[in-house]
Amino acid sequence: LEPRLVLSAQYVPNQVLVGVDRLTLDAGTGPQVAAVIEGSEVRPLGNYGVFLMNLPAGVTVPQAIEQLKGKPGIRYAEPNWIGDWANTPNDPDYSRMWGMENTGQQVNGTTGRPDADTDADLGWDQTTGNKGVLVAIVDSGTDYQHPDLAANIHVNSGEIAGNGIDDDNNGYVDDVNGYDFADGDADPMDFVGHGTHVSGTVGAVGDNGIGTVGMNWNVSLLPCKIGADLGGPVTSAAVEAINYAVSMGAVVSNHSYTVNPTQALEDAIINARANNHIVVVAAGNSSTNNDFNPVYPASYPEDNIVVAAATDQNDALAGFSNRGFNSVDIGAPGVNIWSTTPTAGSAFYGPNYDFSDGTSMASPMVTGAIALLRSVSPSASYQTIIQALYAGADRLPALFGRVSSGARLNVNGALNQLKSVSMSISRSAISENDGASAAVVTLRKVTAPFNQAVTVTMLISDGTEASSGGKVSLPVTIPAFQRQVTVAIDAIDDTLLDGTQQVVISIDYLGSEQDRLTLDVLDHETISVLATPDIVFEDAGANAGTLTITRSNTDIFSPDRIVAVNNSLRFFDRQGQLKSTVTVPWPTGFRPANQSVRDVAVMEDGKIAVFNGTSTVYVSIYNPGDGSWTHQIINNASASAADTGTGGLATTGSFVFISDLETSAGDAYGLVRYDVNSGQIDRFGTQSFGPRLFGSTWPESDVYELDPTTGASIRNFKTPASGGGAAGCAFDGKYIWFIVDDASNNLYKIDAETGSVVDTFFVGSTSNTGFEGIAYLNGLIYLLDGFLTDDIVVYDPVLRTIVNVLNVDGINGGFGLDLSGGLAPNPARNSLYVSATFSDTIYEISAKSGLILPKPDGSYRMWQSGEYWEGGLATLRNELYVGATAGGNKIRVFDLDGNYKRTIDQPFFFGLESLGGDGIDGLVDSSLRYRDVAVGFDSYIYALDVNGTDVGKFDPFTLEPLSFFQLSTPVLTLANDPAGNFYGGTALGELVKFGPGGNEISRIAGNLGALSDIEVNVSGAIIAAEQNERFAYSSTSLATITEYASGSS
C-alpha cells in the first residue's frame, strides 16, 4: 500500500449526519436509516430530514458513510464536524484590551468611546494567526520565558541549543530563540521591558486562560535585541537585525525606536523590500510634524515602511504622537496599552504585565495586523498587504491631514480587503467514488464591484483526489450585475488505501489569494481481517490459526528504490539489496549506440516513467503490475551524450516533465510536458524574465519595442493616439500603459505582445492640458501633468481614481523646476526620476512625498543629462535610459545615481517622444538550457540550467514562468523537499542543501563521483545516483550518507 501523509480532521469519531429525501422515505424514516448499519441509533435533528446517527463499536465514520451512500432515499452522509466558537479569548485581562475591543469600558481610569478600536474581535472570526508567520521584534529584547509569550516564541529547528556550534550555517551560533545583536550572543532576554511589551501586543498567546492576548493568538515571534541591557538601540545592531530577520523568513518587523539616519539602515530596509518584507515603525513621541522634522527610521521614503501614530480610547490623536501627512501613514491605539513585561520586572515596568503609552505601543498593533493579513494571504505582495491595511482602516476626522491615510487601524476591515471574492462549499466531505458534481463551490463577490465582471483563478491542490471537469486550475467569471456563480467539484477514484485526503481549494484574484477552503475526500477502499478459527486455546502452540487480510483493491507497486543502470531499472530494498532488474526496451527494436536511459520517476498511480534516449528521446512508461511498456516519442528533444547528468524527468499526476537541451541544429530546447492520459505534448521554458524597453514616437505615435543594448527596433504597433502625439508609455512587466498628449486625459492599458488595448481609463487632470510623462511603480501610475505645471498625478488603476497629486516645485520650496519630458521609477528607492527639459536636469524625488532625495553626502540627487529636450525616461534594472530628440534620436544611459555609462543611437525616422521600461522585467526569449527538472512539494515545476546555478519556477498547468533564482553553489541535479528547501548533487559527489532562496545551508561529502540524479520523498529520504556504479541514501538533515553499489555505470 502506498504511504501518504494524511491530515487530521476533527469530527466526532462515532457519529454521522445523514440527510434523507422526504419524498422517498416516510415518517418512519429513523428506523429505516438505522437499519442500514446494524446496531446504530438515530435521532432527528428537527423535522427537515436530517438525522444524527450514533455508530456501533467497530464501525468508523468513513465506513459508515460508505455503507450509507447510494442507499434509496439517503441524500448524503457526512462526518459530524467539530467547529470553533466565535473568537473572543478567555484571557482574564482581555477587558483591559480596549485597542482590540472598545465597549466604552473604563481602562486605567479613562472611559473610552465604544468602537474606538481596531475591531480585532471581529477579525479573529476570520483568523487568529498562524505559527507559520514569522514576525521580528527589533527592540530591547523579549522575555522569551514569559508564560504568555513562550509558546509563540520562534524556535530555530536547525540549531542545537548550547553546543557552541552554528548548526544551520546562518552565521549565528545557538540562535535558537532569536539573537542579541548588541552584545553578539544568542540570548535576547529583555531587561528594559520595552521589547517584551511590544511582543505581547503583537503575539501574546491567545485563549490560554492567563494574562493578556496579542493581535495574533498564534504566531512566531523572533526576538532581535538591538540595545545593551539598559541602553538604547544601536544602529549597527538594527541593520544586522533586519537582515537577519529577512534571512530567517520574517515577513514583517516592528521598530519602536528612533535613531539617526544612515544609508546602512536604509539599505537594510531596501533589502527587506526586495524580499517582500514590511517594516513597521513608530512615528515618534515628540508631538511634532515629521514632514518638517524628520525622525528615523520613520522618515525613510521606502514604500515597504508603514509608520504608525498613536490614538487614544476616544479616537483622538494622542497628544504626544508625532504626525505628518506625507510621512506618517496610519493611526493605531497607543494610550493605556496593557501588555506583557519581563517576569522579573525591569527598569521601567512591573513584573508580568503593565500599562504603557507611546507610538511604540501603536506600531506593534499595526505589525500584529500585518501578521494576521499574512496568515490569510501568505503569497501576496507587500504592496497588496499595505494597501489592504490602509483601505480597510476607519477614517477619522482627528487624523485627516495628520496621517496620509486619514485613518485608524481596523483589523477586520483590512482582512476584508483581501477578499474581493469569497467561497463556500455545499459539502465539507465527499467520498472518492462520488463521481461528478460530488460537491458544489459557490463564489460570491464581496468587495468586487457588482457592476463589473470579475474573473478569478480556482486552484485545486490535489488532482488525484478532486477536479472540476478534469481541471485543477481554471478561470471562473462572475458576470457583471451578478452576485455569485457555482462550480461543480468532481471526486476522483483511485486504487489506494490512503485514508481521508484533504484537498485545498483556493481562488486567486489579481495575483492575491482571496479565499480557501478544505474538502475531505474519504477513502472507500477497505481492509478486512478474518481469523480462522476465531477461537484458539493458549496452549495450541505454533500455527494455531490463520489471519487472512483482504483489501478491496490492489496496488501495482511496492516502495522500492529504483535506479536506472545500464539501460535497465534495478529495484533495491531499503538495505540496498538488489531485488530485481527490468530491461528498458528501445521502442523500435535494437537500441542504437549512445541512446541511453537518463532518468526515472514513479508516477502517482505506481507506474514508472523513464527518460529513454539521448539524441532521440522517448518517454517510456512501465507498469510493474503486468510488466507492460508504452512509449511516446518527444520530437526534437535531446540530452547531452557527453554529460550523463542531463536529461531530467519528473512527474505529478498524469503529467511527465522532461528537460530538453539543444544539442544539435534543429533541436528544440526548454522543457516538455507530456500528459500520459491524453497524449498531449506541450513545450515551454523558452522564456525567462529580462529587461524590455519600449518607446513611442512623434508625430507617428506608434509604440516600438527596442533592443535595450543596440536600440534596434524589434517590432512596433499602432496606438489610440489621436488629436496629438504620444506623450508617454510605461511597462509593468506585462502591459504597456500609454498616454496621449491631448486634453482627453485617457490612459490606455495595452497588451505588450499583441498591441491590443485591453482597458481605457479616464484619469482627469489638474491642468486639463494633457500629460507629459508616465511611470509605473508598485501598482500605481504616476503622470506628469500638463506642460510646466510641476504636478505629478498619482492614479490607482484598481480603484480607477486619483489618489494623490504632488506639486513637486511647491513641495521643494518653489524654485521653478519647470518639469516636463518624462518620468521613470526607481523601485529600489520607491522614487521617481523626472526631467526638466529646458534646464537639461533630471531630479530623483520620493514617490511618497515628492521631495528631491538627498545623497549620503547631503547634496541632492539631481544632474544634467547632457541632452536638451529629453525624449522620455526609462529604468531597466540598474540603469536609467534618457531619450533625446535634439541633435538626432539617441538614448544616453546612466546608472541610477546619474553617472554616464554609454550612448545608444536610434534608427527612427520619426522623433523619439517617450521611453517605457519601469524597472520590471518582462518575458523575453530565454538563454537558459535546462539539464534537470523537479516537481516541488508546492506542486510547482523547478528546472536547473546547464550551468548548474540558474533555477526557473513554472506553473505546472499554465506552464508560465513564475520566477528565477540562483543557487549559490553549482550542482548537476536538483530536488525539493516539503519545507521548500532544495538539494543538489555536485561534480565532486557532494550533496548540498539550499534554502528556498538558493543560499547554501549545508553539504555532505561521500566516496562518490559526479552525481547525475537526486530525489527526495515526502518523509525526507534522499536517494542520489552517481555516474559511475554507485548510489547513495541520506535524509534532508544531511547528517549521514550511506552508499551502495548499483552493479554497473
552 three-state secondary structure: coil
CA distance 1030 to 593: 23
- Map grid coordinates 441524500 to a residue: 75
Residue 1030 · residue 1044 · CB < 8 Å: yes
CA distance 306 to 282: 9
Give me the half-sphere count of Cα atoms (radius 13 Å) on the Cβ side of residue 198: 34
Residue 278 · residue 370 · CB < 8 Å: yes
581 three-state secondary structure: strand
Count Cβ neighbours within 10 Å for each residue of 597-613 and write b for 16 or more, e otherwise: bbbbbbbbbbbbbbbbb
196 three-state secondary structure: helix
CA distance 867 to 887: 9
Residues counted in the chain:
1049
8-state DSSP, 815? -
* Cα dist from 332 to 186, 341, 389, 839, 1016, whole Å: 32, 20, 11, 45, 46
Kindly state the cell numbers that stand for 852.
Answer: 528631491
| Position 257, amino acid | Y
CA distance 625 to 708: 56
| Position 263, amino acid | Q
Query: Of the listed 146, 194, 255, 524, which one is catalytic?
Result: 194
Q: Taking each helix axis from N to C terminus, what angle separates 29-36 and 61-68, rounded to the nearest 10 degrees? A: 120
1049 three-state secondary structure: coil
Phi, psi dihedral angles at 781 (to 5 degrees):
-105, 125
Residue 441 · residue 492 · CB < 8 Å: no
CA distance 216 to 210: 15
β-bridge pairing 870-876 and 862-864: unpaired
CA distance 709 to 902: 10
CA distance 953 to 266: 30
8-state DSSP, 316? P
CA distance 621 to 615: 19
Give me the half-sphere count of Cα atoms (radius 13 Å) on the Cβ side of residue 21: 10
H helix runs in 561-616, sequence order: none
**Residue among 469, 326, 124, 230 at smallest CA distance from 845:** 326
Query: Of the listed 299, 360, 404, 865, which one is catalytic?
Result: 360
Phi, psi dihedral angles at 235 (to 5 degrees):
-60, -45
**Residue among 317, 260, 263, 337 at smallest CA distance from 294:** 260
Instruction: For residue 33, give the H/E element and its range.
Output: helix 29-36
What residues does 632 pair with on adjacent strands?
A: 619
β-bridge pairing 330-333 and 305-311: parallel
Query: Of the listed 121, 139, 148, 790, which one is catalytic?
Result: 139
Q: Taking each helix axis from N to C terminus, what angle separates 359-376 and 382-391, rounded to the nearest 10 degrees? A: 120
Q: Has 360 been annotated as catalytic? A: yes
CA distance 395 to 410: 10
8-state DSSP, 695? E
Contacts of 953 (CB under 8 A, 6+ apart): 940, 941, 942, 961, 962, 963, 964, 965
Q: Has 139 been annotated as catalytic? A: yes
**Residue among 674, 679, 719 at smallest CA distance from 695:** 719
- CB neighbourhood size of 279 (10 A): 27
Kindly state the cell numbers that stand for 253.
Answer: 518587523
Q: Which residues are catalytic?
A: 139, 194, 360
